[in-house]
A and B are shown apart, each in its own frame.
Chain A
Amino acid sequence: MVHKRIIFHIDMDSYFATVEQQANPLLRGKPIVVSGKEGSRTVIVASSKEAKRLGVKTAMLHHEARKLCPNLEFVEPDGAKYEYLTKTFLKVFKTFTGKVEVFSIDEAFLDMTGYVTDWDLAIEKASQIKVLLKQELGDWMTCSVGIANNKFLAKLASGLDKPNGLFFVHEKIKQSILDNVKLTAFCGIGRRIEKRLNCLGIKSVPELRAYQPKKLVQEFGPFYGKKLHQMASGIDYEPVIPDFQSAEIKSVGRAYTLPYNTYDKEELFTVLMHLCEKVGRELRRKKLSGKTLVYYFRYSDFTHGGFRLTLPGYIDDNLRLFEIGCAKLQNFHLEKAVRLVGVHVSNLIKDYRQQTLFNPDKKQTDLLPFLDKINDRYGELTVKPAYLLKLKRLRHKVGGFKLQD
Chain B
Amino acid sequence: MSDAYIFDAIRTPRSKGKRDGTLNEIKPVNLVTTLLDALQSRLDLDTSKVDDMVLGCVSPVKEQGAVLPKVALQKAGWDERVAGAQVNRFCASGLDTVNTAAARVASGWDDLIVAGGFESMSRVPMGSDGGPFSEDPETVLATHFVPQGIGADLIATLEGFTREDVDRVAVQSQQKAAAARDAGWFDNAVVPVRDENGLTVLERDDFIRPDADMATLAGLRPSFEAMGAFGYDAVALAKYPDVERIHHVHTPGNSSGIVDGAALVLVGNGQTGRDLGLEPRARIVSTAVIATEPTIMLSGPGPAARKALDRAGLSAEDMDLIEINEAFSSVVLRLQRELNVPDEKLNVVGGAIAMGHPLGATGACLVSTVVDELARRNARRALICMCVGGGMGIATIIERV
Q: Do A and B bind each other?
A: no
| Interface, chain B (partner A; CB < 8 A) | none
| Interface, chain A (partner B; CB < 8 A) | none
